[in-house]
Amino acid sequence: MLAQFVSQISLHVIIHYHRKTAAAATRLQELEWNIDESYNTRSDPDILRKHLFKLDYEASTTYAVVRKWVSLLLALLSVAVGVLVICGCSIPSFSIESVGLLGLVESMNEFREADIYYSIFDLAKMIMDVARYLDTASNYIGLGTLSCLLVVTVFLVPMFEVASLLIEWFRPMDEKQRQRNSVVNEIISAWQYMEVFVLSVVIAAWQLGGVSEYIINVYCDSLEILFTTLSFYGILKEIDAQCFRVNASIEKAAWFLDAASLFLSYVNHFVITASSQMEQDKSVPPERRLHTYLWWTTQETMSLDEGEDGHEVLNNEVIISPVASQFTDFYFCTVRTGDCSEPSNAVLRRDEDMGVIKTPTEIETAKAFWDMTRDNNTNQSL
Residue 358, in any domain of the structure: no
Phi-psi region of 189 (alpha: psi -120 to 50; beta: other; left: phi over 0): alpha
- Categorize the per-residue pLDDT at 38 as very low, low, confident or very high, splitting at 50, 70 and 90: low
Q: Do residues 73 and 117 both lie within one domain?
A: yes
Q: Do residues 149 and 191 both lie within one domain?
A: yes
Q: Do residues 151 and 268 both lie within one domain?
A: yes
| Whether residue 63 has pLDDT greater than 70 | yes
Residue 353, in any domain of the structure: no
Name the burial class of residue 109, with classes exposed (0-12), middle (13-18) and buried (19+) by CB atoms within 10 angstroms of its CB.
middle
Residue where one domain finishes, among candidates 283, 304, 326: 283
Q: Do residues 72 and 26 both lie within one domain?
A: no
Q: Do residues 93 and 19 both lie within one domain?
A: no
3-state helix, strand, coil in the chain (%, to 5): 65, 15, 20
- Total domains, the chain: 2
| Whether residue 228 has pLDDT greater than 80 | no
Q: How many CB atoms lie within 10 A of CB 270?
A: 21
Q: What is the pLDDT of residue 306?
A: 53
Task: Give the up-direction half-sphere exposure of residue 213: CA atoms within 13 A in the CB hemisphere.
Answer: 15
Task: Give the up-direction half-sphere exposure of residue 278: CA atoms within 13 A in the CB hemisphere.
Answer: 27
Residue 61, in any domain of the structure: no
Residue 124, in any domain of the structure: yes
Residue 328, in any domain of the structure: no
pTM reported for the whole predicted model: 0.73
Residue 309, in any domain of the structure: no
Q: What is the pLDDT of residue 109?
A: 54
Between 128 and 364, the more confident residue is 128
Q: What is the pLDDT of residue 82?
A: 95
What's the DSSP call for residue 321? P
Q: Do residues 20 and 92 both lie within one domain?
A: no
Q: Do residues 10 and 113 both lie within one domain?
A: no
Looking only at the bridges linking them, the beta strands covering 114-118 and 94-99 are antiparallel
Q: What percentage of the chain exceeds 70 in pLDDT? A: 69
Residue 305, in any domain of the structure: no
Q: Do residues 104 and 248 both lie within one domain?
A: yes
Question: What's the average model confidence in pLDDT over 226-242?
Answer: 73
Question: What's the average model confidence in pLDDT over 19-43?
Answer: 70
- Categorize the per-residue pLDDT at 366 as very low, low, confident or very high, splitting at 50, 70 and 90: low
Q: Which helix (H) or strand (E) holds 84?
A: helix 68-90
CA 46, CA 283: separation in Å to the nearest integer? 14
Q: Do residues 131 and 215 both lie within one domain?
A: yes
Q: Tell me if 114 sits within 8 A of 134, measured CB to CB.
A: no
Domain of 210 in residue numbering reads as 67-283
Distance, CA of 35 to chain centre:
33
pLDDT, one tens digit per residue, over 154-174 is 999 999 999 999 999 999 988
Q: Do residues 1 and 76 both lie within one domain?
A: no
Q: Do residues 102 and 162 both lie within one domain?
A: yes
Q: Do residues 143 and 271 both lie within one domain?
A: yes
Residue 356, in any domain of the structure: no
Question: What's the average model confidence in pLDDT over 57-75?
Answer: 83
